[in-house]
Amino acid sequence: MNPLDRDNLNFIMTASTEELNEFYADIDTENLLYLLNLVQGEMTRLRLEEVELLDQVEHTDDADRAILEILEKFDTK
């Protein structure tokens, strides 16, 4: 996404209801489709980021084993 696209997306995501109402009153179908494409692209990017984060969280076997080893060293039974 180029800087202009990012600025347009940020406007859509942060504009007040009044600002959006004024904006939508003056926009044509082509520009509305452009903005919809930006929002869909950002949603896809966020979903992919979520999948990556969840994948990292699910693969904690090594960390779990290391924690258990550390706890065993401090076990005072």
Instruction: Check residues 70 and 32 and name the one with the higher pLDDT.
Output: 32
3-class DSSP state of 30: helix
The domain spans of the chain are 3-73
Instruction: Read off the pLDDT of residues 6-63 as tens digits, 9 standing for 90 and up.
Output: 999 999 999 999 999 999 999 999 999 999 999 999 999 998 888 888 777 666 777 7
d(CA 19, CA 22): 5
pLDDT of residue 76: 54
Relative orientation angle of helices 29-58 and 3-14, to the nearest 10 degrees: 90
Res 72 pLDDT > 90: no
3-class DSSP state of 26: helix
d(CA 62, CA 68): 10
pLDDT of residue 77: 52
